Amino acid sequence: MRFYTTSHGPRCNSRTWPTFCQYCGQRVFYFTCDCGCKVFFDELGAPWPKHQCLGYLHSLIETYGREVIERGMAVMMMTPGIDRTYTTQVQQAYEREVWQPAPKKDIIRRDPVHDAREDVVGIVRELIDGVNVFKLLGTSDNWFSLAILGSLAKAECVQITIHTGALASADNYSFTFLVDKQLLMQQSIVKGALIRCQLRSLVVPGWKPIWICDRVRSPLEEN
């Protein structure tokens, strides 16, 4: 974690996504940058009011420890504030998104290649429950596919599509992956939620490669 004396902005790779608080359901904005900031705000722009519902505060304490929160670490990382030009850019980008909900940025679909691994943060755009892995692969459940798929063959899967583009950012990628429903049991993953996921490619000879997700986390969580 680094501490800067100037404000957070493009220089420290600041990224902001509109999302929902997973504890109270309110519209919030998640801000993160390479300095180590990980904050949910109620509003975009000065004075950047932090989201402070009880469920969220509790999760902060669980993640960082009560002592750290009480010392105001999250606040310290946020001083001395967020770059004004960056603020204007994200505000304008958000306004465009609200008025024109269809994706305006070019979205590049990222398909898996052999041995691919990705750790990505993005907004859930599509969620399909009860997906059959064999149907997705275009194969039947013969002994060969069963052997390669292992436990995934028996798992009840959810197919999720996320878009990684932050507000006012030029890059926007789309990832579609399968995740074992068991992994999602403790989290409320809905359309519009911001999640961090660990993906790996599953390549079965003769079939198109697919992304498999082994872990879904809140973007607040450390490694």
Q: Is residue 162 within 8 Å of residue 175, measured between CB atoms?
A: yes
List the beta bridge partners of residue 173. 108
The reply to whether 166 sits near Zn ion by the rule CB under 5 A is no
Q: Residues in the chain, how many?
A: 223
- Please provide the distance, in angstroms rounded to a whole number, between the alpha carbons at the two ends of the chain: 13
Report how far residue 80's alpha carbon sits from residue 6's, in angstroms, rounded to the nearest whole number: 7
* Contact status: 21 vs Zn ion (CB under 5 A): yes
x/- mask, Zn ion, residues 50-69, rule CB under 5 A, reads ---x--x-------------
Which range binds Zn ion by CB under 5 A, 32-40, 118-126, 142-150, 168-176? 32-40
**Least gap, CB of 25 to Zn ion (angstroms):** 7
Rounded-to-integer distance, Cα 126 and Cα 48, Å: 29
Cβ atoms 170, 161 nearer than 8 A: no
Which CB atom, from 50 or from 163, has the smaller least distance to Zn ion?
A: 50
Cα–Cα separations (whole angstroms), residue 223 to 119, 145, 198, 215? 10, 32, 11, 11
Q: Which residue has the tokens 């990224």?
A: 15
Q: Identify which of residues 75 and 108 has a Cβ nearer to Zn ion in the complex.
A: 75
Which is nearest to 221 in space by CA: 191, 194, 182?
194
Site for Zn ion in 137-156 (CB under 5 A): none
203 is a site residue for Zn ion (CB under 5 A): no
Residue 15 binding Zn ion, by CB under 5 A: no
36 and 25 in contact (C-beta within 8 Å)? no
Minimum CB distance to Zn ion, residue 62 (Å): 15
Residue with smaller CB distance to Zn ion, 30 or 177: 30
134 binds Zn ion, rule: CB under 5 A: no
Nearer to Zn ion, 23 or 207 (CB): 23
Report, in Å, the least distance between residue 101 CB and Zn ion: 23
Nearer to Zn ion, 3 or 143 (CB): 3
Place of tokens 């304008």: 92
33 binds Zn ion (CB under 5 A): yes
Q: Does 35 bind Zn ion (CB under 5 A)?
A: yes
- What residue ranges bind Zn ion (CB under 5 A)? 8, 12, 21, 23-24, 33, 35, 53, 56
